[in-house]
Structure 1
Amino acid sequence: MAKPTFTTPDIDSFCLVDQLGLTITGQRLEEHRAVLECRVLHHDPWCRECGAEGVSIGTVVRRLAHVPLGWRPTTLLVRVRRYRCADCARVWRQDTSSAAPPRAKLSRPAVLWALKSLVIDRMSVTRIAAGLGAAWHTVNDAVLTAGTKLLINDRARFQGVKVLGVDEHCWRHTGRGSHFVTVIIDLTPVRNGTGAARLLDMIPGRSKQVFKTWLDAQSADFRDGIAVVAMDGFTGFKTAAAEELPQATAVMDPFHVVALAGDALDRCRQRVQQDTLGHRGRSGDPLYGTRRTLRTGADLLTEKQHQRLQKVFTEDEHVEVEATWRIYQKIVAAYRNPSKIEGKNQLEDVIASLRRAVPRRLHELISLGRTFNRRAADILAYFDRPGTSNGPTEAINGRLEHLRGTALGFRNLAHYITRSLLDTGGFRPLLHPHLR
């Protein structure tokens, strides 16, 4: 800097109390925290009842956890003057609402610091509470309240949504009651290449009615703007989207199409394993040894893996596994084809072949063919809208799993939904006017 410009040091500005209507009058450094003594700048000695001037009758102390300074928790020790009216005997105290809401234990900058730490830095509430020197429940309640008010309840986050993703998510694996929720994802940034997918909402339960009710609760402008809905093979989501979003195109994404084919391959392998050896797969069994190789794309197989598969397929009793494997590989190859037109034609041929007479022994392919025939339009729609996939939805599910691990699990679904929205809602708090 050629001509650096500095101003006179101001401890009030440095400690972020100048906008709180406070001024620092003293400090005390303790072993594990810093304490800043403050006074209220605004004097209000006039009675709100009769307008007479009140008489000071001493002070009370209000303690507020503040933004950590110098790597240590910081507490504001605010001395609030009390007044009494000589005419009507009314008693009041100085207004400190600029520093913190009534009965709050965190200053306003501390709440925003905690919210930023949670949303941007992805810190756990435990670590945030330790940084503020406050109780876990105090910090958690303050962060969830502020996050809901400033970010989640901002209806602007529903604007511009063109592509929706919907999927189910297991939010807990123990205890009684429903363990599943329906997650609604905004895939528009992925489709446009402008950013990552973001969580729009999370609803308790997983059914057609759950998704239908959520869509019905949204504004008409929001529903009319949806052009594509990416989903898995669950018919309930498909029906709800068709009823509430008749103009939208349903797309069954490649992840779930390939997963359905892979599941059919696994079931066929397991059935043949039982028929030929009379027990589940064990170490040393030919089919069991190829369970992962079978699910690998043919273009990615090594020479050793090719030889292992050929050795398994030479056995006559494994012919059903080979037939199912070839259908699986054709589906994978269709999606990996760099030409969307050719890929679509390849997958159309696969679906048509499954419509024709499939040998009765191939139970898994018959079941797969029924599903593909029923959802053929949704499956093929992907090739007309490249980039529309539910894969980012699965990625967000993975981030939610990480969130649950960081928090060591959740017992309260309402808290889990709020934390999930803050964690994966795509907020950019650094650009938010309240968090700059």
Structure 2
Amino acid sequence: MPEITVVDVERVADDDGKTGRLVHIERPEEWAACPECGVISTSVRQRRTTRPRDLPYGEEPIEVRWHKRQFSCTEQLCPRKAFTESTAEIPPRARTTGRLCRAAAAQVASGRSVAAVGRQYRLSWPLVHRHFAIHADAVLLEPEPPQVLGIDETRRGKPKWFKDPATATWSRSEPFETNFVDLSGSGGLLGQAAGRTGAAVVEWLQARGPQWTAAVQVVAIDPAACYRTAIKHALPHATIVVDHFHLVALANKALTAVRQRVTREERGRRGRSTDPEWANRRRLLRAREHLSQRSFTTMWNALIDHEPSGQILTAWIAKEELRTLLACARTQAPRSVISHRLARFFSWCADSGIPELITLAQTIDAWWPETLAFITSGITNARTEGTNRLIKDAARVAFGFRNLNNQRRRVRLACTHHMINPAA
């Protein structure tokens, strides 16, 4: 540390027989400036010894003894009669060195919990968190506007049940956070808004200002109607892109619903491991190109032989038709090919007469402008989904959060740490 000189080092042993080092330090200058008036003083009033905690060095523990001097202020008009010498690394009344606090803050910023870092450095939880907050606030600046914005939600905490005293009915409340992610640059997690409503999205976007919102050209979302309505209100000039992963998930959900309904109608019970449709449930949800010829043949023949209505295979073909339509984003197919595959998907769902497939086709039709925007641009919400995983990991490391501001600071730093510090 600057302005500090090591006077002596002793090897000591504690009550348990563990050896360590006792380091004696002092400030070499024989003078000090009064912090009140700035007058230099060489009049030593008394000497004191403090025990500031410092960074560990090596395998053995280290204890520091700072032999400080208390000076008398020689300025008669100064209201302060005495002062004790200090340095920038060990300010007045400090019990820890500055580099120890910075190291603890860096450990928390790297992904460790505050409690674990406090146990390692023998520091209290409030002290470690206070210095982490100082470190995070200095690093996390106001985000720059991205050209492509991703929006998604994550659940914060466990769901709770509340009883209405007037009606005596119970209602479930799930705390959610809406996340805003930079999909075109290195901004990472730009911020969070409480709830997963359109009003929360509009409020967060309008708080950024008109210049910020004008820079956003594309917004990638899941098929959530409240987010689409909010974006059209707050960013009327932006193009909305729906993520294809969730569209395929809707098709898989419809396929599972058809399989479960057919099993209940034909067998009068839930599916069992002896039922061919239940035994092939994972093959039904897997992409066709990821199935070997043997697995595909096994699934197809089992359903042909034991499911006479053919509804399950019809739903599986509808799912594959939708995947073929969405695959035009990878091949950059012309608009004529896209229209042909869309018509083939709609015709197959309509001719099947299966209610689950008709609902799926209606959903695709309602979201077709956003789906077409994905096919032509290829923009996905994958980075937002990855950010959601980092948010959940940060909550697990901290064993949950009680303070919303602490959570948002910790989560945002965890999601942008590798971007702020590329070498970390």
Q: How does 1:360-399 map to 2 (within 5 A)?
A: 361-386=353-378, 388-399=379-390
Task: Provide the secondary structure at the position in 1 that maps to 2:157.
Answer: coil
Report the equivalent of 2:4: 22
Q: Which moved more, 1:421-430 or 1:21-30?
A: 21-30
Kept after mapping to 1: 8 A contact 2:34/2:41: yes
Partner deviation per Cα, 1:149-202 (whole Å, 9 max, x = no partner):
2112x22xx22521111101023235566431111111113xxxxx6x721212
Deviation at 1:78, TM superposition (A): 3.8
Report the equivalent of 2:398: 407
CA distance in 2, matches of 1:41, 1:226: 58
Letter of the 2:200 partner, please give it.
V
The alignment status of 1:202 with 2:192, answered yes or no, reads yes
Report the equivalent of 2:118: 129
TM normalised by structure 1 equals 0.80
RMSD: 3.3
CA distance in 2, matches of 1:344, 1:84: 90
Q: How does 1:270-281 map to 2 (within 5 A)?
A: 270-281=260-271
Letter of the 1:168 partner, please give it.
E
CA distance in 2, matches of 1:345, 1:41: 81
Deviation at 1:250, TM superposition (A): 0.7
Deviation at 1:357, TM superposition (A): 7.8
Partner deviation per Cα, 1:362-410 (whole Å, 9 max, x = no partner):
2222222222112111111112222x21112111222223333333333
Kept after mapping to 1: 8 A contact 2:41/2:71: no
Q: How does 1:229-244 map to 2 (within 5 A)?
A: 229-244=219-234
CA distance in 2, matches of 1:217, 1:35: 54
Q: How does 1:324-363 map to 2 (within 5 A)?
A: 324-337=315-328, 338-341=330-333, 345-346=337-338, 349-350=341-342, 353-354=345-346, 358=350, 361-363=353-355
The alignment status of 1:138 with 2:134, answered yes or no, reads no
Residue of 207, 210, 219 corresponding to 1:220: 210
The alignment status of 1:425 with 2:416, answered yes or no, reads yes
Q: Which moved more, 1:41-50 or 1:327-336?
A: 41-50
In structure 1, runs of 5+ residues without a counterpart are 1-16, 190-194
- Counting matched residue pairs gives 403
Kept after mapping to 2: 8 A contact 1:312/1:318: no
Report the equivalent of 1:163: 148
Kept after mapping to 2: 8 A contact 1:40/1:94: no
Deviation at 1:279, TM superposition (A): 2.1
CA distance in 1, matches of 2:385, 2:422: 27
Deviation at 1:360, TM superposition (A): 8.3
Q: Which moved more, 1:25-34 or 1:90-99?
A: 25-34
Deviation at 1:348, TM superposition (A): 6.5
The alignment status of 1:68 with 2:56, answered yes or no, reads yes
The alignment status of 1:182 with 2:191, answered yes or no, reads no
Change (3 A) 1:63 1:324: farther
Deviation at 1:416, TM superposition (A): 2.3
In structure 2, runs of 5+ residues without a counterpart are 13-17, 162-172
CA distance in 1, matches of 2:35, 2:230: 61
Kept after mapping to 1: 8 A contact 2:202/2:230: yes
CA distance in 2, matches of 1:256, 1:32: 60
Report the equivalent of 2:249: 259
Partner deviation per Cα, 1:306-360 (whole Å, 9 max, x = no partner):
1232121444544222222111112223334541225994477336743898268
Residue of 275, 300, 313 corresponding to 1:322: 313
Letter of the 1:184 partner, please give it.
F
TM normalised by structure 2 equals 0.82
CA distance in 2, matches of 1:348, 1:25: 85
Kept after mapping to 1: 8 A contact 2:324/2:341: no
Change (3 A) 1:65 1:428: farther
Letter of the 1:218 partner, please give it.
R
Kept after mapping to 2: 8 A contact 1:354/1:369: yes
Letter of the 1:235 partner, please give it.
A
Report the equivalent of 1:150: 138
